[in-house]
Amino acid sequence: MKYLYENAVDRDVINVVQFGLGPIGINTAKTAMTKDMVKMVGAVDIDPAIAGKDLSEVVGFSDNLGITVVDNIQKVFNETKVDVVLHTTSSFIADTFDQFRTIMEGGANVISSTEELLFPDLKNPEKAKELDAVARANNVTCLGTGVNPGFVMDTFVLCMTSMCNRVEHVYAEREVDAATRRGPLQKKVGAGLTVEEFRALRDAGKLGHIGMMESVAFVAKGLGWQLDNIEETLEPMVA
Q: Tell me how far apart the alpha carbons of residues 61 and 81 are, in angstroms, rounded to a whole number.
A: 24
At 39 the pLDDT is 96
At 207 the pLDDT is 82
**Tens digit of pLDDT for each residue in 141-163?**
999 999 999 999 999 999 999 99
Residues β-bridged to residue 70: 44
From 160, 156, 130, select the one nearest 218 (Cα to Cα): 156
At 11 the pLDDT is 56
Q: Give the burial class of 189: count Cβ atoms within 10 A of its Cβ; 0-12 exposed, 13-18 middle, 19 or more buried.
A: buried
At 10 the pLDDT is 52
Residues β-bridged to residue 142: 110
Q: Are 43 and 29 spatial neighbours (Cβ–Cβ below 8 Å)?
A: yes
With a cut of 50, which residues of the chain have pLDDT below it?
A: 1-9
The 3-state DSSP class for residue 70 equals: strand
Q: Are 188 and 212 spatial neighbours (Cβ–Cβ below 8 Å)?
A: no
